Structure 1
Amino acid sequence: MNIETFISRTDQHKIVPVFYHSDLQTCIDVVNAAYNGGVRTFEFVDRGANAIDTFRELMNRKSKWPDLEIGIGTIYDLQTAKEYINLGAAFVVSPCLVAEVAIHCRDHNVSYIPGIATIKEAFDASTLGCKMIKIFPANVIGSAFAKAITSVLPQLAIMPTGGIEPSASGLKEWFDAGVNCVGMGSQLFDKNKISKKDYAGLSNDIVDAINNANLVK
Structure 2
Amino acid sequence: MTTLDGMLDGVRVMVILRALGPQQTVERAEAAWAAGVPLIEVTIGTPDDVPSLRAAVEASRERGLGVVAGTVVTPEAVRVAADAGAVFTVAPGLDPDVVAASAEIGLPHVPGVATPSEVHRAVHLGCRWLKAFPAVSLGPQWFSAIRGPFPQVRFVATGGLNPVNAGAFLDAGAAAVGLGSAGDDPAALAELAGARPGALSR
Question: Please, what TM-score do these two structures have when normalized by structure 1?
Answer: 0.83
Identify the residue that residue 89 of structure 1 maps to in structure 2: 86
Q: Which amino acid counterpart does residue 207 of structure 1 have in structure 2?
A: A
CA distance in 1, matches of 2:171, 2:21: 37
8 Å CA contact 2:170, 2:176 repeated in 1: yes
2:58 counterpart residue number: 60
Aligned to 1:20: 18
- The aligned residue for residue 193 of structure 1 is none
Deviation (angstroms), 1:10 = 2.7
Give the CA deviation at 1:24. Answer: 1.6
CA contact 2:45–2:72 (8 Å) conserved in 1: no
1:90-112 residue CA offsets vs partner (Å, 9 max, x unmatched): 01000000111112223444221
Deviates more, 1:148-157 or 1:117-126: 148-157
2:130 match: secondary structure: strand
1:112 and 2:95 matched: no
What is the CA-CA distance between 1:31 and the residue it aligns to?
0.7
1:187 and 2:182 are equivalent in the alignment: yes
* 70-79 or 14-23, larger mean C-alpha shift: 14-23
Measure how far apart 1:29 and its partner are.
Answer: 0.6
Q: How far apart are 1:14 and its partner, in Å?
A: 0.6
1:50 deviates by 1.8
Structure 1: tracts of 5 or more residues without a match: 190-201
Secondary structure of the residue aligned to 1:216 is coil
Q: Which residue of 2 aligns with 1:206?
A: 189
* SS of aligned partner of 2:181: coil
Residues 11-51 of structure 1: CA distance to partner in whole angstroms, max 9, x if unpaired? 31210111124322111111111111111111111135421
Matched residues, percent identical? 25
Question: How many angstroms apart in 2 are the aligned matches of 1:23 and 1:55?
Answer: 9
Are the counterparts in 2 of residues 133 and 156 from structure 1 also a CA contact under 8 Å? yes
Structure 1 residue 185, shift from structure 2 partner:
0.8
Letter in 1 for 2:189: I
Runs (4+) of structure 1 exceeding 4 A deviation are: none
- CA distance change for structure 1 residues 147 and 63 in 2, over 3 Å: closer, same or farther? same
CA distance in 1, matches of 2:193, 2:59: 24
Q: 1:24 to 1:12 in 2, by over 3 A?
A: same
Preserved CA contact (<8 Å) 1:7 1:180: no
Task: Give the distance between the partners of 1:40 and 1:62, measured in 2 at CA.
Answer: 9
Number of residue pairs the alignment of both structures matches: 199
2: CA distance between counterparts of 1:55 and 1:133? 21
CA-based RMSD: 1.9
Say if 2:7 is the partner of 1:33. no
Write the distance in 1 (CA, Å) between the matches of 2:101 and 2:61: 28
Whole-Å separation in 2 of the counterparts to 1:172 and 1:20? 23
